[in-house]
Structure 1
Amino acid sequence: MWFVYMLKCSDSTLYTGITTDLERRVKEHNSSDKGAKFTRSRRPVTLVYSEHCSDRSSASKREYAIKRLSRKKKLEMLD
């Protein structure tokens, strides 16, 4: 089971990624060097969106589609 997720960083930027374990991944973003370089300097981060995908390929494709959206469209997804 794969997830596409979106984090809101302390500076209000948004980060999108994929994982098989949401809880673990958010902890990594907040407290470990395994978190993305982008989020390391923007801690703490908060999980604001997630969706289930059937496999890694579909999760990666969905992540790419979300990353191409404007900030406004991303924020609309959260509502």
Structure 2
Amino acid sequence: MRLSYVYILKCSDDSYYTGVTSNLDKRLLDHQSGKHKDSYTYKRRPIELVFYADFTDIRLAINSEKQIKKWSRAKKEALINNEFEKLPNLAKKKFK
């Protein structure tokens, strides 16, 4: 069984990058070494792995990555901090 991973990196500019891979160690090394000069993380190194989840189905991993990329910073930080009970309220739209 091959695992896939959704991961969140914290960049040196305090932003977050979310990605998906089937080889987390290699992908982290690629980000840290600047292998891809056009990537989001290239000029934001060093990076730190702050969250990852493993999946047995790559399609679920890709769908999760797409979902997390749309989330607010607050919601991503709740996920990173294992504050799962906060996720539903952070998903609600705030009206003025």
TM-score by length of 2: 0.77
Alpha-carbon spacing, 1:35–1:16, altered in 2? closer, same or farther (3 Å): farther
Of structures 1 and 2, the one with the larger relative CO (CA 8 A, separation 6+) is 1
Q: CA RMSD in A?
A: 1.4
Instruction: Give 1:63's match in structure 2, choosing from 62, 65, 79.
Output: 65
Q: How high is the sequence identity, in percent, across the aligned residues?
A: 38
Please give the alpha-carbon distance, in whole angstroms, between the structure 1 residues aligned to 2:35 and 2:7. 19
Name stretches of at least 5 consecutive residues in structure 1 with no aligned partner: none
* Structure having the higher Rg: 2
Shift of 1:23: 1.1
Question: How far apart, in 2, do the equivalents of 1:8 and 1:44 lie?
Answer: 9
Number of equivalent positions: 79
TM-score normalised by L of structure 1: 0.92
SS across alignment from 1:15: strand
Structure 2: 5+ residue runs without aligned partners?
A: 82-96
* Higher strand fraction (1 or 2): 1
| Contact 2:36–2:42, Cα closer than 8 Å, also in 1 | no
| Distance of aligned partners of 1:36 and 1:60 in 2 relative to their CA distance in 1, 3 Å threshold | farther
